[in-house]
Structure 1
Amino acid sequence: MNKQLFRIALPLLLALSAGAASAHGDVKCTTKPKSEWKPHEELAQKLTKEGWQIRRMEATNSCYEVYAKDPKGKRVEAFFDPVTFARVEE
């Protein structure tokens, strides 16, 4: 029974994780090398001053990805250009 469940669950889990990973694949923030990126701490300070409540930040291949509550209190996943800190829409 466990083998049968594994055979069903594994492809389903792989399909779900592939879909989640590709959901952000189209977001391009910058083509500049990482040596030109500003530190993410500077973005965190900027957003905090603007009223954001940051839960987590990650660096993708070309963006800073921010999970936070925006100044209106809405939970968001936002992308920012790591060179200019301009918000990039998906």
Structure 2
Amino acid sequence: MKASVVLSLALFAAVPTLVHAHGDFKCNEPAAEWKKRDELVSKLEKEGWQIRKIKVDNGCYEVYGFDKQGNKKESYFNPKTLELIGNVVQ
């Protein structure tokens, strides 16, 4: 009985780390309402980011780079609002 409880707790604890896989972030904004990538680059650079690459994935902007603390980032942004949706790498 103890082993099953420990296993259940271990699986439950692992769930938050599994939630932020690549396919979990989706944006459904009409393309005509998207802001340009340059606006996102400008916004992030003002926040101290170093951008390595931006691409579109699941209708979101996916950004690869480093934040102002030098932490490696792979983050998803809403293309209409440029708000952070979530991070794959934090």
* Matched residue count: 67
Deviation of 1:59 (Å): 1.2
Match of 1:77 among 70, 74, 77: 74
Aligned match of 1:24: 22
Question: Where does the alignment leave 5 or more consecutive residues of structure 2 unmatched?
Answer: 1-20
Whether the 8 Å contact between 2:62 and 2:76 is mirrored in structure 1 is: yes
Aligned match of 2:39: 42
> TM-score normalised to the size of structure 1?
0.69
- Hey, what's the Cα distance between the residues in 2 that align with 1:64 and 1:32? 11
Q: What is the CA RMSD across the aligned residues, in angstroms? A: 1.2
> TM-score normalised to the size of structure 2?
0.69
SS of residue paired to 1:43: helix
- Using the aligned pairs only, state the percent identity: 48
Deviation of 1:32 (Å): 1.6
Question: Where does the alignment leave 5 or more consecutive residues of structure 1 unmatched?
Answer: 1-22
